[in-house]
């Protein structure tokens, strides 16, 4: 993956000028719908089960941006169903979208949808997840290897803070069909694998969780803990949902708060777990900024414009460079949970409920 991070403010690096769209060999419009079509944007979100972000944040921020720009749009959620994903895409193309933005469920389904859209002259954007071997013209996300690196560094910091020597580490990786999960793992492996190789840490489990399913994650972690004879000192969980699944098992074994657990997405539940001391950290990705960058790009290409992003990522399966906008993630610990709330990503009311009200006050959240 090509580096050179964009800060949140750098979303504006999308070129303000536009160029005429280019045609591909089939005569379809490469950079967007033709100017004689009314701009309309279709967005397909993946599910509402794997993370609260898709319906709680992405939909909201995208809708706000499209309404502010006064463009027609259609946002739908495939709810984890690959057949529904393809059906939604077909309907959107039939109904005249000039730009299609997808969060794929897997690269195979995503590629089929992107290729069909391209053949119909519809501009395409991969949002948050790159479709391997796909044909999206643009990719908008965070630097996902940097996300994983923050998780690895976070787990190491929390273990050091607890004074744990030669800790036994379990991995709860994301879905094997999600390229982001691969990138996250590349990132945390870059921090933790040298420690495994040097015998500073011991890796006792390394499992992926199909479809980021939290119920399966709890079952997998319970098996990991049993196999390790109850001796797990740290859990690299790839997001807050998987982290909470591990925490639920640790609670049953009276190990919560003793075993550092990582996360990602800065969900209200994840932040509550951090405030309670059951989760050591999460990674905050300013979804509002990601949605802003993606919506600006979608609005432009829906009008038939071509944009320069100044960055690319390599699609390892397709062997091509994809124009990209990558944003910078941030590590969140107990001492800076307040930053996520101050940024407006989640509200105080969502996090500081019931027993968490005092924990919020103690953490300086007012």
For 281, the 3-state DSSP assignment is coil
User: What is the pLDDT, as a whole number, of residue 31?
Assistant: 42
User: What is the pLDDT, as a whole number, of residue 233?
Assistant: 98
pLDDT, tens digit (0-9, with 9 covering 90-100), for 346-358? 999 999 999 999 9
pLDDT, tens digit (0-9, with 9 covering 90-100), for 120-136? 999 999 999 999 999 99
The CATH class for the domain spanning 144-285+331-363 reads alpha beta
User: What is the pLDDT, as a whole number, of residue 37?
Assistant: 78
Beta strands in 23-177 (DSSP E): 40-45, 72-77, 99-102, 123-127, 138-142, 168-173
N-term to C-term CA, the chain? 40
**Per the structure block, which two tokens stand in for 235?**
């859990």
- Asked whether the beta carbons of 342 and 286 are under 8 A apart, the reply is no
- Asked whether the beta carbons of 166 and 141 are under 8 A apart, the reply is no
**Per the structure block, which two tokens stand in for 172?**
């709860």
Q: How far apart are CA 121 and CA 124, in angstroms?
A: 9
The CATH class for the domain spanning 40-142+286-327 reads alpha beta
Domain with CATH 3.40.50.2300 in the chain: 40-142+286-327, 144-285+331-363
Provide Rg for the chain, Cα atoms.
Answer: 21
What predicted TM-score, i.e. pTM, was given to this entire model? 0.82
Q: How far apart are CA 163 and CA 53, in angstroms?
A: 34
Task: Give me the residues of the chain with pLDDT under 50, please.
Answer: 1-34
Residue by residue, DSSP assigns 130-149 as --TT---SEEEEE-HHHHHH
**Per the structure block, which two tokens stand in for 295?**
């919506």
- Asked whether the beta carbons of 156 and 131 are under 8 A apart, the reply is no
User: What is the pLDDT, as a whole number, of residue 75?
Assistant: 98
Q: How far apart are CA 157 and CA 260, in angstroms?
A: 10
For 267, the 3-state DSSP assignment is coil
- Asked whether the beta carbons of 288 and 57 are under 8 A apart, the reply is yes
């Amino acid at each position: 993956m090509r580096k050179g991070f964009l800060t949140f403010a750098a979303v504006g690096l999308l070129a303000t000028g536009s160029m005429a769209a280019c045609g591909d060999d089939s005569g379809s419009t490469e950079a967007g719908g033709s100017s004689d079509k009314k701009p309309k944007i279709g967005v397909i979100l993946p599910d509402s089960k794997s993370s609260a972000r898709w319906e709680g944040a992405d939909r909201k921020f995208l809708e706000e941006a499209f309404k502010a720009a006064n463009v027609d749009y259609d946002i739908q959620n495939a709810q984890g169903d690959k057949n529904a994903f393809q059906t939604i895409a077909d309907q959107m193309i039939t109904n005249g979208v000039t730009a299609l933005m997808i969060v794929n469920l897997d690269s195979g389904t995503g590629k089929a949808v992107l290729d069909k859209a391209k053949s119909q002259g519809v501009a395409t954007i991969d949002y948050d997840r790159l479709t391997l071997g796909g044909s999206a013209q643009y990719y908008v996300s965070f630097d996902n290897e940097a996300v994983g690196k923050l998780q690895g560094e976070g787990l190491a910091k929390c273990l050091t803070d607890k004074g744990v020597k030669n800790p036994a580490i379990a991995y709860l990786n994301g879905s094997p069909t999600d390229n982001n999960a691969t990138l996250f793992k590349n990132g945390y492996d870059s921090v933790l694998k040298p420690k495994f190789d040097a015998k500073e840490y011991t890796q006792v489990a390394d499992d992926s969780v199909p479809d980021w399913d939290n119920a399966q994650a709890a079952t997998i972690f319970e098996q990991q803990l049993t196999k390790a004879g109850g001796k797990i000192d740290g859990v690299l969980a790839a997001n807050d949902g998987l982290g909470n699944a591990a925490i639920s098992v640790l609670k049953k074994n009276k190990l919560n708060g003793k075993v550092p657990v990582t996360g990602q997405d800065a969900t209200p539940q994840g932040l509550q777990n951090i405030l309670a001391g059951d989760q050591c950290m999460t990674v905050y990705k300013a979804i509002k900024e990601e949605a802003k960058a993606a919506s600006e790009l979608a609005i432009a290409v829906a009008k038939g414009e071509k944009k320069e992003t100044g960055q690319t990522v390599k699609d390892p399966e397709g062997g091509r460079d994809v124009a990209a906008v990558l944003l910078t993630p941030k590590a969140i610990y107990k001492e800076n949970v307040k930053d996520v709330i101050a940024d407006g990503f989640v509200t105080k009311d969502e996090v500081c409920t019931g027993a968490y009200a005092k924990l919020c006050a103690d953490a300086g959240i007012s």
